[in-house]
Protein backbone atom coordinates (compact mmCIF):
# COMPACT_ATOMS: atom_id res chain seq x y z
CA UNK A 1 0.00 0.00 0.00
CA UNK A 2 1.33 3.48 -0.79
CA UNK A 3 2.29 5.52 2.24
CA UNK A 4 2.69 9.23 2.90
CA UNK A 5 4.63 11.05 5.59
CA UNK A 6 3.54 14.32 7.13
CA UNK A 7 6.15 16.28 9.06
CA UNK A 8 6.30 19.26 11.38
CA UNK A 9 8.32 22.20 10.16
CA UNK A 10 11.54 21.29 12.03
CA UNK A 11 11.29 17.56 11.17
CA UNK A 12 11.33 16.33 14.78
CA UNK A 13 7.74 14.99 14.67
CA UNK A 14 6.48 12.90 11.75
CA UNK A 15 3.54 10.64 11.02
CA UNK A 16 3.40 7.95 8.34
CA UNK A 17 -0.02 6.95 7.02
CA UNK A 18 -1.04 4.25 4.57
CA UNK A 19 -3.48 4.26 1.68
CA UNK A 20 -5.75 7.04 0.52
CA UNK A 21 -7.49 9.36 2.99
CA UNK A 22 -11.06 8.40 3.90
CA UNK A 23 -11.97 12.07 4.18
CA UNK A 24 -10.40 15.37 3.12
CA UNK A 25 -12.05 18.53 4.33
CA UNK A 26 -11.57 22.08 5.45
CA UNK A 27 -12.94 23.48 8.69
CA UNK A 28 -13.66 27.16 9.24
CA UNK A 29 -14.64 26.92 12.93
CA UNK A 30 -13.09 29.58 15.15
CA UNK A 31 -11.24 26.92 17.18
CA UNK A 32 -9.50 25.68 14.03
CA UNK A 33 -8.71 29.25 13.01
CA UNK A 34 -7.02 29.92 16.36
CA UNK A 35 -5.45 26.45 16.53
CA UNK A 36 -3.74 26.82 13.16
CA UNK A 37 -3.31 30.59 13.00
CA UNK A 38 -4.80 30.38 9.52
CA UNK A 39 -8.35 31.25 8.43
CA UNK A 40 -9.32 27.58 7.99
CA UNK A 41 -7.87 24.14 8.73
CA UNK A 42 -7.33 21.51 6.03
CA UNK A 43 -7.57 17.97 7.43
CA UNK A 44 -7.26 14.48 5.99
CA UNK A 45 -8.55 11.42 7.85
CA UNK A 46 -6.88 8.05 7.53
CA UNK A 47 -8.34 4.84 8.92
CA UNK A 48 -4.94 3.54 10.03
CA UNK A 49 -2.65 1.93 10.89
CA UNK A 50 -0.18 4.80 11.20
CA UNK A 51 3.28 5.30 12.69
CA UNK A 52 4.51 8.29 14.68
CA UNK A 53 8.17 9.30 14.95
CA UNK A 54 9.47 11.86 17.44
CA UNK A 55 7.98 13.54 20.50
CA UNK A 56 4.57 15.20 20.60
CA UNK A 57 2.94 17.52 23.09
CA UNK A 58 -0.79 16.99 23.53
CA UNK A 59 -3.74 19.26 23.89
CA UNK A 60 -7.30 18.02 24.37
CA UNK A 61 -10.18 20.09 23.08
CA UNK A 62 -13.90 19.37 23.47
CA UNK A 63 -15.89 19.90 20.28
CA UNK A 64 -19.35 21.48 20.15
CA UNK A 65 -20.99 18.02 20.03
CA UNK A 66 -19.09 16.86 23.14
CA UNK A 67 -16.47 14.79 21.31
CA UNK A 68 -12.94 15.18 22.67
CA UNK A 69 -10.10 15.66 20.24
CA UNK A 70 -6.49 15.03 21.25
CA UNK A 71 -4.21 17.28 19.19
CA UNK A 72 -0.51 16.47 18.89
CA UNK A 73 2.00 19.15 18.09
CA UNK A 74 5.77 19.45 17.96
CA UNK A 75 7.21 20.80 21.24
CA UNK A 76 10.15 22.31 19.33
CA UNK A 77 8.57 24.18 16.41
CA UNK A 78 4.89 24.14 17.42
CA UNK A 79 3.42 22.62 14.25
CA UNK A 80 0.00 21.11 14.95
CA UNK A 81 0.47 17.83 13.08
CA UNK A 82 -2.33 15.36 13.81
CA UNK A 83 -5.22 14.53 16.10
CA UNK A 84 -7.32 11.60 17.24
CA UNK A 85 -10.82 11.47 18.66
CA UNK A 86 -11.08 10.07 22.20
CA UNK A 87 -12.85 6.70 22.22
CA UNK A 88 -12.42 6.23 18.46
CA UNK A 89 -9.63 3.74 17.83
CA UNK A 90 -7.48 3.39 14.78
CA UNK A 91 -8.13 6.54 12.79
CA UNK A 92 -6.17 9.76 12.68
CA UNK A 93 -6.67 13.27 11.29
CA UNK A 94 -3.59 14.85 9.76
CA UNK A 95 -3.01 18.49 8.82
CA UNK A 96 -2.93 18.49 5.01
CA UNK A 97 -0.25 21.18 4.80
CA UNK A 98 2.17 18.99 6.76
CA UNK A 99 2.43 16.62 3.79
CA UNK A 100 4.04 19.52 1.90
CA UNK A 101 2.50 18.08 -1.27
CA UNK A 102 0.58 20.44 -3.57
CA UNK A 103 -0.82 17.36 -5.38
CA UNK A 104 -2.53 16.05 -2.24
CA UNK A 105 -6.23 15.23 -2.94
CA UNK A 106 -8.45 18.34 -2.75
CA UNK A 107 -11.08 18.76 0.00
CA UNK A 108 -14.57 17.41 -0.67
CA UNK A 109 -16.27 18.98 2.35
CA UNK A 110 -16.34 22.39 3.96
CA UNK A 111 -17.32 22.36 7.63
CA UNK A 112 -18.54 25.28 9.75
CA UNK A 113 -19.16 27.18 6.57
CA UNK A 114 -21.03 29.75 8.72
CA UNK A 115 -17.59 30.89 9.99
CA UNK A 116 -15.94 31.05 6.58
CA UNK A 117 -14.20 34.32 5.77
CA UNK A 118 -16.21 35.74 2.87
CA UNK A 119 -13.15 36.06 0.63
CA UNK A 120 -12.40 32.30 0.89
CA UNK A 121 -13.87 30.60 -2.21
CA UNK A 122 -14.61 26.87 -2.16
CA UNK A 123 -13.43 24.62 -5.00
CA UNK A 124 -16.32 23.67 -7.34
CA UNK A 125 -18.21 20.60 -6.13
CA UNK A 126 -17.27 21.04 -2.46
CA UNK A 127 -20.09 20.07 -0.09
CA UNK A 128 -20.62 22.86 2.43
CA UNK A 129 -22.06 22.25 5.89
CA UNK A 130 -23.13 25.13 8.09
CA UNK A 131 -21.80 23.27 11.17
CA UNK A 132 -20.22 19.87 11.76
CA UNK A 133 -22.47 17.23 10.11
CA UNK A 134 -21.35 14.40 12.42
ZN1 LIG B 1 8.95 20.48 14.84
ZN1 LIG C 1 -12.76 23.23 13.13
Determine the pLDDT at residue 33: 96
pLDDT (tens digit, 9 = 90+) per residue, 84-118? Answer: 999 888 899 999 999 999 999 999 999 999 999 99
Q: Tell me, what DSSP letter sits at residue 91?
A: -
Looking at all shown ligands, the one closest to residue 72's CA atom is 1
What residues flank ion ligand 2 with Cβ within 5 A?
A: 27, 29, 32
pLDDT at 17 (0 to 100): 97
| pLDDT at site 127 | 95
Going from the Cα of 31 to the center of ligand 2, the distance in angstroms, rounded, reads: 6
| Model confidence at 27: pLDDT above 80 | yes
- pLDDT at residue number 72: 97
- The predicted-structure confidence for 57-92, as pLDDT tens digits, reads as follows 999 988 877 889 999 999 999 999 999 999 888 899
pLDDT of residue 15 exceeding 90, the answer is yes
Helix, strand, coil share of the chain (percent; to 5) = 10, 40, 50
Please choose, from the candidates 22, 47, 40, 23, the residue with its C-alpha nearest in 3D space to the C-alpha of residue 108.
23
Q: Express each pLDDT in 38-54 by its tens digit.
A: 999 999 999 989 999 99
Confidence of residue 37 (pLDDT cuts 50, 70, 90): very high
Amino acid sequence: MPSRTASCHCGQLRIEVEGEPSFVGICHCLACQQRTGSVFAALASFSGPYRVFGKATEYIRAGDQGAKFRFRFCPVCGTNLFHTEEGESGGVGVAVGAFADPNFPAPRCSIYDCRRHPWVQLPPGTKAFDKDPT
